[in-house]
């Protein structure tokens, strides 16, 4: 849980990202063992939003903006961490689709 050091948060913009690694992009993992592009591009923003949600809910309406990309590719749910047939481009585009496809709770509190 994030310690509460402020009394309001009206807008959260998740803009962290890591690219494909180019044509020589190799599979990397986060310290927690997740495929690195998925961890940075999707899981990090998801976790930060979940941790800040109690503070955001104190002041409605609140907005969460996830900065994504036009580059998106269907997610292989049988191999989300891309342990087989790794491609940096595929890892990047799958993580970007995950970023816009998931909702964290109700986003419109009008």
* Residue in 42, 73, 86, 92 annotated catalytic: 92
Encode the chain in three state secondary structure: CCCCCCCCCCEEEECCCCCCCCCCCCCCECCCCCEHHHHHHHHHHHHHHHHHHHHHCCCCCCEEEECCCCCCCCCCCCCCCCCCCCCHHHHHHHHHHHHHHCCCCCCCCC
Is 92 considered catalytic here?
Answer: yes
Q: What residues act catalytically?
A: 92
């Amino acid at each position: 849980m994030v310690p509460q050091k402020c009394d309001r948060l009206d807008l959260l913009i998740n803009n962290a990202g890591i690219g494909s690694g180019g044509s020589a992009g190799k599979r990397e993992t986060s310290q927690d063992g997740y495929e690195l592009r998925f961890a940075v591009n999707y899981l990090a923003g998801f976790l930060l939003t979940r941790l800040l949600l109690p503070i955001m809910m104190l002041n409605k309406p609140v907005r969460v903006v996830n900065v994504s990309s036009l580059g998106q590719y269907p997610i292989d749910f049988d191999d989300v961490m891309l342990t087989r047939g790794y491609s940096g481009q595929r890892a990047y585009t799958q993580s970007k689709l995950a970023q816009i496809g998931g909702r964290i709770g109700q986003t419109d509190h009008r």
